[in-house]
Chains A and B, each alone.
Chain A
Amino acid sequence: MRRHTRRVFNLCYRFTGNATEAEDLSQEVFLRIYRTLSSYQPAFGAFPTWLTSVTRNLLVDHYRRTRRDRQTDSIDDSMPQLEEKHSSARAPDKLAEAGELSIQLQRGLARLSPELRESVILRDLQGLEYSEIQAVLQVPEGTVKSRINRGRIELARILTEMGLKPN
């Protein structure tokens, strides 16, 4: 239970970048799981995969629902990011720390398109296999591979732009 909760919460947190939203979404995921547990069939794949795909569908719904809100306050977001660039330039050695990287990564992920974002999160932060990601996203393996690849390259460029050198 704890393991599943953590996975779901992390996926939501990495995708939305907001702990409170992630908490509400995780709760919604488990509520949906609880209600549709009777309709679960082994044909859908292993339970963790099914859990991940339910979470992902909910995240996509949530993303579409809140798109308009995000567009209106994206201008406000650009200011703190500029400030952050200055502060990170002042203490570059601290960026190597895992906590700091986690925060920077969160900002970088937020600037990726949702398709690339979810692919990178599932592969590199959740550690899923390509076949599992394919089952979750319901897209061909070639698409999964190319999304992960493009996501990684774009994320590396975004982080470099932000003044972080991940090497």
Chain B
Amino acid sequence: MDWNCTLTEERLSDYLEGKLSPAEAAAFSVHMASCANCTETVALVGGLVSQMHKIAMVEEPPQLIAKILDATLGPRTQKESWRQWFGWTSVVWQPRFAMGLAAAVASVVIVSYAAGLTPAKLKKADLSPTNVLRSANRQAHLTYARGAKFVNDLRVVYEIQSKLQPEPEPMPVSNPAPAPQQEHNSIPPNATPQQKSQSSPPASHTRVSSGPMFAFLLTESLADNLAENSINSSYRSAR
């Protein structure tokens, strides 16, 4: 077989890929042995092809796939992540949970107000456990003192009332003084003692004796206030 340089170039790839017939391969080798040019070309191309097969694929930019997905399927990451993070809230907003949550918040607010924690005046120092305990303790004392004072006041008022308004039955007997005054009130004389006491309280009598009583009450409440103030100031100085 007559082989030349043009034919070598034309069948070079077939030679490299082993697709030449035995006769062609033999003629190819014979020509190569006598032609330095063709030998060099074959070596170059053979080296290039084997090196190209070894070259790894270039890594695509990391954002490319995301870009492609955005361009084709539309942007999705943001929406999905929102749903992922806040999907559970739909359960919370069911009426029964929402009502429970509102009640819990309300009770926390009430307790914190009772403990003397007002959000408007809240400072960082107020949140330390000792201060919370101290203010809660103080609030408890104040509440107790107020309650005790109220009960005392109530008792005093009842005592005074019971002194001013004796039992209806013994009133005409034990207390004849109001009798002349009743004439002014134009109540029929045949009215029962009960009606008398209901319709006309012994106004002048109360007016007369209520003065010192009110004074007494005033002084007592004043003393209570003083006591409360002293408690407050002692706490303040302790803090």
Interface residues of A (CB under 8 A from B): 1-2, 5-7, 9-10, 13-14, 19, 23, 26-27, 30-31, 34, 98, 101-102, 105, 120, 124-125, 127, 145-146, 148-149, 152-153, 155-157, 159-160, 165-167
Contact = CB atoms under 8 A, between A and B. Distances in A.
A119 B56 CA distance: 18
A149 B12 CA distance: 7
A105 to B, nearest CB: 7
B55 A167 contact: no
Interface string B58-80: 11110011011001100000000
B202 interface: no
A152 B58 contact: no
A156 B60 contact: no
Contacts of B13: 145, 148-149, 152
A93 to B, nearest CB: 15
A159 B61 CA distance: 27
Interface of B: 9-14, 41, 43-49, 51-61, 64-65, 67-68, 71-72
A10 B58 contact: yes
A124 B53 contact: yes
Nearest to A32: B72
A27 B44 contact: no
A19 B61 contact: yes
Given A156-B45, A167-B44, A9 B9 contact: no
B68 A27 contact: yes
Contacts of B54: 98
Contacts of A30: 68, 71-72
Given A1-B65, A34-B72, A153 B41 contact: yes
Contact of B45 (A1, A6, A34, A152): A152
A156 B9 CA distance: 12
B68 A5 contact: yes
A23 B60 CA distance: 8
Contacts of A153: 9, 12, 41, 45
Given A98-B55, A149-B9, 13 more contacts: A5-B60, A6-B57, A7-B57, A23-B64, A27-B68, A102-B55, A149-B14, A153-B41, A153-B45, A156-B44, A156-B45, A156-B48, A165-B44
A125 B9 contact: no
B60 A101 contact: no
Contact of A166 (B44, B56, B57, B72): B44
A105 B52 contact: yes
A78 B236 CA distance: 88
Given A6-B59, A9-B60, A26-B64, A124 B71 contact: no
Nearest to B53: A124
Nearest to A20: B61
